[in-house]
């Protein structure tokens, strides 16, 4: 929330549609590919072993790192439980890198100036192991 409450100039530093960037901010993320526009702003962070935490916005860096740490603890526990429930060694899902891709996306849905023209979010999928 703190990031989305920044002024446009402060957020502009992070604006990008480059899929290779670890941290990026944009509006209507698939604006040029979809027949409908998402009425949303998103700050997204790809957490991997190479990401420099200094790339995260300073206004929410500590919160994002803390959230990521707690989510990864939960993910490890869920992977162990799911592996065991499937009759596999508890480390099975972790060992096949099922949690290698880690994306944190924080969405903001600002008020739409013409709400009668919106229907909500279009259909989408989250193609990852745990969402």
Torsion of CA 3, 124, 117, 5, to 10 degrees: 0
Per-residue DSSP letter, 25 = E
As a whole number, mean pLDDT of residues 25-39 equals 76
| Residue-range domain boundaries for the chain | 8-117
* Measured CA distances, 74 to 27, 77, 94 (Å): 30, 5, 12
- Please report the pLDDT score of residue 96 as a whole number: 85
- Complete edge-to-edge strand list for the sheet that includes strand 102-108: 23-27, 41-47, 102-108
- Please report the pLDDT score of residue 15 as a whole number: 94
Please report, rounded to a whole number, the percentage of residues in the chain having pLDDT higher than 70: 83
- Please report the pLDDT score of residue 16 as a whole number: 92
Pick 83 or 124 by higher pLDDT.
Answer: 83
The answer, yes or no, to whether residue 37 has pLDDT greater than 90, is no
CATH number of 8-117: 2.60.120.330
pLDDT in tens, 63-96: 999 999 999 899 899 999 999 999 999 999 888 8
- Please report the pLDDT score of residue 131 as a whole number: 64
| pTM summary value | 0.78
Closest to 102 in 3D by CA, of 79, 81, 74, 71: 71
CB–CB of 93/128 below 8 Å?
no
Closest to 103 in 3D by CA, of 63, 45, 59: 45
């Amino acid at each position: 929330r703190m990031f989305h409450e920044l002024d446009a100039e402060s957020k502009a530093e992070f604006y990008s549609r480059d899929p290779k960037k670890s941290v990026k901010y944009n509006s209507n993320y698939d604006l040029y590919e979809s027949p409908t526009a998402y009425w949303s702003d998103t700050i997204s962070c790809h957490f991997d072993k190479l990401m420099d935490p200094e790339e995260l916005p300073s206004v929410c860096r500590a919160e994002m790192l803390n959230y990521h740490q707690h989510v990864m603890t939960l993910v490890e526990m869920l992977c162990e439980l799911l592996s065991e429930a499937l009759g596999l060694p508890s480390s099975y899902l972790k060992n096949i890198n099922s949690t290698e891709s880690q994306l944190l996306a924080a969405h903001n849905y600002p008020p739409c100036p013409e709400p009668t023209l919106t229907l909500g979010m279009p259909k989408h999928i989250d193609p990852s192991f745990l969402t």
